[in-house]
Amino acid sequence: MLGGYRRTQHRMKPTSGGNTPASPLARRFTSWRMLADTATVGGWTSIAKVAGAAKVIMAARLFGTGDAMDAYLIAFLLPSFFIDMLSGPLDSALIPTLIEVRENKGRAAAESLYSSVLAAAAVGFFGAALLAAMTSSLFLPVLASGFAPGKQALTQRLLLLLIVVVPLSGIASTWRAILNSEHRFAAAAAIPAITPLVSIVALFFAGKQYGVVALAAGTVAGGTLEAIAGGVGAKWAGYSIVPRWAGMSVALRQVAAQYAPLVAVTLVMTGSALVDQGMAARLGSGSVAALSYGTRLLGVLIVIGPTAVGTAVLPHISTAAMLAEPKALRRSLRTYGLFILAVILPVTAGLMYFSEPIVRVLFQKGAFSEEAAQLVSAVQKASLLQLPIAVLLALEVRLTSALKINRLLYRVAALSLIMTFGFDMIFMRWLGVVGIAFAGAAVRLVSSLYLSCKIFGMRGASYGFQTD
pTM of the model: 0.69
Distances in Å between the alpha carbon of 405 and those of 257, 306, 410, 448? 10, 20, 11, 16
User: What is the reported pLDDT for 200?
Assistant: 93
- pLDDT per residue as tens digits for the range 450-462: 888 877 665 443 4
Task: Report the alpha-carbon distance of residue 115 to residue 96 in Å, rounded.
Answer: 16
Q: Interhelix angle for 24-63 vs 326-339, to 10°?
A: 40
Report angle CA 455, 460, 465 to the nearest 5 degrees: 20
Judged against a pLDDT cut of 90, whether residue 50 lies above it is answered with no
Label residue 18 exposed, middle or buried (CB < 10 Å: 0-12, 13-18, 19+). exposed
Q: For residue 324, report the phi and psi dihedrals to the nearest 5 degrees.
A: 55, 60
- pLDDT per residue as tens digits for the range 239-267: 888 888 888 888 898 888 888 888 877 77
Task: Report the alpha-carbon distance of residue 232 to residue 251 in Å, rounded.
Answer: 25
The full 3-state SS of 9-67, as one line of letters, equals: HHHCCEECCEECCCCHHHHHHHHHHHHHHHHHHHHHHHHHHHHHHHHHHHHHHHHCCCH
Half-sphere exposure for 402 (CA within 13 Å, toward CB): 33
User: What is the reported pLDDT for 302?
Assistant: 79
Q: Which residues contact 327 (CB under 8 A, 6 or more apart)?
A: 21
- pLDDT per residue as tens digits for the range 107-145: 888 889 989 999 998 898 898 889 888 888 787 877 777
For residues 377-381, average pLDDT: 89
User: What is the reported pLDDT for 461?
Assistant: 37
| Residue 224: pLDDT band with limits 50, 70, 90 | very high
Q: Ranked by mean pLDDT, which of 34-43, 160-169, 406-415 comes out on top?
A: 160-169
Among candidates 427, 368, 221, 397, which has minimal Cα distance to 307?
397
**Cβ contacts of 457-462, under 8 Å, gap ≥ 24:** 462/324
Task: Report the alpha-carbon distance of residue 468 to residue 464 in Å, rounded.
Answer: 13
Which amino acid, 39?
A: A
Q: Who wins on pLDDT, 82 or 192? A: 192
Task: Report the alpha-carbon distance of residue 319 to residue 324 in Å, rounded.
Answer: 9
Could you count the other beta carbons within 10 Å of the beta carbon of residue 144?
23
| Residue 447: pLDDT band with limits 50, 70, 90 | confident
For residues 298-327, average pLDDT: 73
Which amino acid, 164?
A: V
Q: Are 447 and 408 in contact (CB under 8 A)?
A: no
Could you count the other beta carbons within 10 Å of the beta carbon of residue 250?
9
| Residue 95: pLDDT band with limits 50, 70, 90 | confident
| Residue 197: pLDDT band with limits 50, 70, 90 | very high
User: What is the reported pLDDT for 3?
Assistant: 36
For residues 391-402, average pLDDT: 80
Q: Who wins on pLDDT, 105 or 460? A: 105
| Residue 152: pLDDT band with limits 50, 70, 90 | confident
Which amino acid, 252?
A: L
Helices (H), 182-249: 185-190, 194-210, 212-236
Q: List the single range of 147-161, 276-290, 363-377 with lowest mean pLDDT.
A: 363-377
